[in-house]
Amino acid sequence: MRIKEYKEIRIFWGDLKSAINPDTIRGKLSSELITERPFNEIQKNIHCHAFAFLNQVHKAEGKIIIGNCSDFPMLTHDGDYLITQEKNVGIGILTADCLPIIVYDPVQKIISSIHAGWKGLTRGIIKQVLLQLQQDFFVKLSDLVVMIGSSADDCCYEVKQDFVDEVHLHYPHTKAFLYTSGTIKFSLVKYLKEIIIENGLSENQLDVSNFECTICSDHYCSVRKTNKDPNRQLTVVSLK
């Protein structure tokens, strides 16, 4: 578990110690969740009074959070990103090899939490979030900071040729694949870097200081390492 403060935001980067089975919170209201572990501990650390989590479906769809969020039902709305300007509302992501991404605009005081596996990245979730931030909140791309947590990386993330073919249909020139000794490995981080640059951001706007590989580290949930384990680590961001 790591708590990061950056200007007007606080981020909870979770690990195995605070991981949950998503089914245990599905349908619960934010007002119920705030009293339960580990959410009560997260609430104390990042000072949020409510939470929002979506039912993640690996698509480029999401939801804008307006209001205090106390009656938000957990994991009932499909989507893979949340956007809010509400203070002290924790918008979250559940992962076990996918990338947890936080986008922050310190000028407009707005945050987004993004669940991004290879499917979501390939289907355009980054482009959709950036477009919505620009159109609905008048964000300038040059003001944004993009922060990532831990995910599978190309030291361990082995894939097959059909995976490569699917990615190449959308990004034929990607350099996110590593070919060694008859195996193909994939880096979500390299893929994300290419995508944010393609969509008008620079690599300097990407903060990878909280990144580790979830497969080779013993500190994180990983479906590729323990595919029968339902637990997922939490990433939660809140505006001060």
DSSP per-residue codes, 117-174: -HHHHHTTHHHHHHHHHHHHH---GGG-EEEE--B--TTT-EE-HHHHHHHHHH-TT-
Q: Over the stretch 36-83, which tens digit does the pLDDT of each residue have?
A: 999 999 999 999 999 999 999 999 999 999 988 889 999 999 999 999
Per-residue pLDDT averaged across 147-160, rounded?
97
**pLDDT tier at 228, thresholds 50, 70, 90:** confident
Domain count, the chain: 1
User: Cα–Cα distance between 150 and 234 in angstroms, integer?
Assistant: 11
Task: Tell me what the pLDDT averaged over the chain comes to.
Answer: 96
Residue 73: domain span:
2-151+203-239
Q: What is the CATH number of the domain that holds 41?
A: 3.60.140.10
Is 163 within the bounds of a domain? no
**Structural contact between residues 48 and 89, judged by C-beta atoms closer than 8 angstroms:** yes
What pLDDT is recorded for position 1? 77
DSSP category for residue 219: S
Residue recorded with tokens 């008008």 = 200
Q: Over the stretch 102-123, which tens digit does the pLDDT of each residue have?
A: 999 999 999 999 999 999 999 9
Q: Give the list of residues 6+ apart from residue 89 with CB closer than 8 angstroms, or none.
A: 48, 49, 50, 51, 52, 65, 68, 69, 238, 239
Is 191 within the bounds of a domain? no
Is 114 within the bounds of a domain? yes
Rounded to a whole number of angstroms, the CA Rg of the chain reads 17
Is 223 within the bounds of a domain? yes
User: Cα–Cα distance between 154 and 200 in angstroms, integer?
Assistant: 25
Is 179 within the bounds of a domain? no
Is 92 within the bounds of a domain? yes
Measure the N-to-C terminal CA separation of the chain; round to a whole number of Å. Answer: 20
Is 48 within the bounds of a domain? yes
Contacts within 8 Å (CB) and 24+ apart, 175-179: 178/154
Give this prediction's pTM: 0.97
- Using the predicted structure, report yes or no on whether residue 29 has a pLDDT greater than 80: yes
Is 175 within the bounds of a domain? no
Per-residue pLDDT averaged across 80-96, rounded?
97
**pLDDT tier at 217, thresholds 50, 70, 90:** very high
The amino acid occupying position 37 is R
b/e map 23-54, b = 16+ CB within 10 Å: eebeebebeebbeeebbeebbebbebbbbbbb
Per-residue pLDDT averaged across 188-217, rounded?
97
Q: Give the list of residues 6+ apart from residue 41 with CB closer than 8 angstroms, or none.
A: 18
Alpha carbon separation from 184 to 83, 121, 149 (Å, rounded): 35, 19, 23
